[in-house]
Amino acid sequence: MNTDTMRERLIVGLDVPSVKEAETVVRDLGDAVSFYKIGYQLAFAGGLDFARELASDDDKKVFLDMKLLDIDNTVAKGVENIVRMGMTMLTIHAYPKAMKAAVEAAKGSGLTLLAVTVLTSMDERDVIDAGYEYDPHTLVLRRAEQALAAGMGGIVCSAEEAAAVRRIVGPDMAVVTPGIRPAGAAHGDQRRVVTPAQAIRNGSSHLVVGRPIVGAVDRRAAAHAILTEMRSA
């Protein structure tokens, strides 16, 4: 893979408390990064307007990590408005009815809908405590099958499960993996973590990296180091 291709596959998580800080991160990274994730923390601090502005830049893409789940009509109306915002990716919890409603609402647009399988902060005990009868790996694969059947554009899962998910969904669907940590980096609150190179080898199409870049003293250098590791795979 060339540098530009890997640049399109690295998504930096703007998990920061304010739009001002997010603007600083984007400015620090410059042309090293073109893809950003905006989740709850920033969204509820004015980040939705920021997401729209960022997406209006021809060289920037936005992954809106809202993990939608509600009755069908509510999910559909939300997705319709997110399409109008110009987002590139959007997460939906991998419940079959919610996914089908989202797919219908996004039909004909450029929005890639991603099915959230099992959060990378959850291990087997957490899944059992949540009332599921499956272990995390089995639950991820079951939801990947349901997402494929629903017509979703991709899957969000741990890179530990990416190879197995790729075998289910085939070569065309996105496999987006958070919980990425460079070798030697602290895991934080992530339980199922993988290095950038291993994630690429496992079949991940996009890697979401937050703290190892955003929390670095030299953010641009940290991003370049991760891109180098991705290319090494």
List residues forming the annotated binding site for substrate: 15, 37, 65-74, 120, 181, 190, 210-211
Residue closest to 175 by CA, chosen among 144, 139, 210, 145: 144
> What is the C-alpha separation between 162 and 194, in angstroms, rounded?
10
Q: Which residues contact 116 (CB under 8 A, 6 or more apart)?
A: 67, 91, 92, 93, 94, 156
Q: CB–CB of 15/215 below 8 Å?
A: no
> What is the C-alpha separation between 40 and 15, in angstroms, rounded?
8
**In the structure encoding, which two tokens stand for residue 185, read together?**
């980096």
Annotated binding site: 15, 37, 65-74, 120, 181, 190, 210-211
Question: How far apart, in Å, are the Cα atoms of 196 and each of 29, 56, 75, 78, 233?
Answer: 18, 28, 32, 32, 8
Active-site amino acid positions? 67
**In the structure encoding, which two tokens stand for residue 51, read together?**
């997401």
Q: CB–CB of 157/140 below 8 Å?
A: yes
> What is the C-alpha separation between 53 and 31, in angstroms, rounded?
17
Residue closest to 198 by CA, chosen among 230, 175, 176: 230
